Amino acid sequence: MSNDNNKLLILDDDALIARTISVIGESAGFHTRTTTAADEFFELVDTWTPSHIALDLVMPDMDGVEVLVELAQRRCRARILITSGVGSRVLDAARRSAVEHGLTIGGVLAKPFAPGDLRQLLADQKSEIVDIEPDPHPDTDRRRHEISPEDLEAGLERGELELVYQPKVNCADSALAGFEALVRWRCPERGVVPPGLFIPVAESSGLIGRMTREIIKQAIDWFATDLRSCPRIGANAWHASLLGKLTLSINLSARSLDDEGFIDFVHQNCCDALIDPDNLVFELTETSAMEDPVGSLDLLTRLRMKGFQLSIDDFGTGYSSMLQLVRLPFSEIKVDKSFVMSASRSEESRAVIRSIVELGHSLGLRATAEGVEDLDTMEYLKEIGCDRAQGFLVSRPLSGEQALQWAQQHLTSWR
Binding site for ligand C2E (CB under 6 A): 166, 182-183, 194-196, 199, 215, 251-253, 283, 313-314, 337, 341, 370-373, 391-392, 397
Using Cβ positions, the residue closest to ligand C2E within the complex turns out to be 391
Q: Are 318 and 339 in contact (CB under 8 A)?
A: no
106 or 397: whose CB is closer to ligand C2E?
Answer: 397
319 to 348: interface string for Ca ion, x by CB under 5 A: ------------------------------
392 binds, among ligand C2E, Ca ion, none (CB under 5 to 8 A by kind): ligand C2E
371 binds, among Ca ion, ligand C2E, none (CB under 5 to 8 A by kind): ligand C2E
What residues form DSSP beta bridges with 83? 56, 109
CB of 68 to Ca ion, least distance (A): 26
68 or 335: whose CB is closer to ligand C2E?
Answer: 335
CB of 256 to ligand C2E, least distance (A): 7
Q: Which of 12, 56, 286, 313 binds Ca ion (CB under 5 A)?
A: 313
300 binds, among ligand C2E, Ca ion, none (CB under 5 to 8 A by kind): none
End-to-end CA distance of the chain: 51
Question: Could you check whether the bond before residue 112 is cis, i.e. omega within 30 degrees of 0?
Answer: yes
Q: How many residues at the interface with Ca ion, by CB under 5 A? A: 4
CB of 285 to ligand C2E, least distance (A): 6
- Among candidates 79, 68, 58, 11, which has minimal Cα distance to 39? 11
* 314 lies in the site for Ca ion, by CB under 5 A: yes
25 or 316: whose CB is closer to Ca ion?
Answer: 316
32 or 251: whose CB is closer to Ca ion?
Answer: 251
Instruction: Please provide residue 166's backbone torsions phi and psi, each rounded to the nearest 5 degrees.
Output: -110, 125
The DSSP code sequence of 102-135 is T-EEEEEEESS--HHHHHHHHHHHHTS-------
| One-letter identity of residue 144 | R
Element (H, E) at 165: strand 161-170
Residues in region 237-296 near Ca ion by CB under 5 A: 251, 283
Could you tell me the CA-to-CA distances from 83 to 67, 70, 120, 302 in Å, in that order?
A: 13, 17, 14, 52
Q: Rounded to an integer, what distance in angstroms lies between the CA atom of residue 43 and that of residue 272? A: 64
Q: What is the three-class DSSP state of 171? A: coil
52 binds, among Ca ion, ligand C2E, none (CB under 5 to 8 A by kind): none
CB of 313 to Ca ion, least distance (A): 4
83 or 368: whose CB is closer to ligand C2E?
Answer: 368
By DSSP bridging, strand 176-187 and strand 161-170 are antiparallel
50 or 178: whose CB is closer to Ca ion?
Answer: 178
159 or 244: whose CB is closer to ligand C2E?
Answer: 159
Q: Rounded to an integer, what distance in angstroms lies between the CA atom of residue 208 and that of residue 122? A: 46
CB of 304 to ligand C2E, least distance (A): 19
Q: Rounded to an integer, what distance in angstroms lies between the CA atom of residue 13 and that of residue 95? A: 20
| One-letter identity of residue 290 | M
CB of 389 to ligand C2E, least distance (A): 9
194 binds, among ligand C2E, Ca ion, none (CB under 5 to 8 A by kind): ligand C2E
187 or 252: whose CB is closer to ligand C2E?
Answer: 252
Rg value, the chain, Cα: 24
The DSSP code sequence of 256-306 is GGGSTTHHHHHHHHHHHTT--GGGEEEEEEHHHHHHSHHHHHHHHHHHHHT
The DSSP code sequence of 231-246 is HHHHTSHHHHHHHTT-
Q: Contact residues for Ca ion (CB under 5 A)? A: 251, 283, 313-314
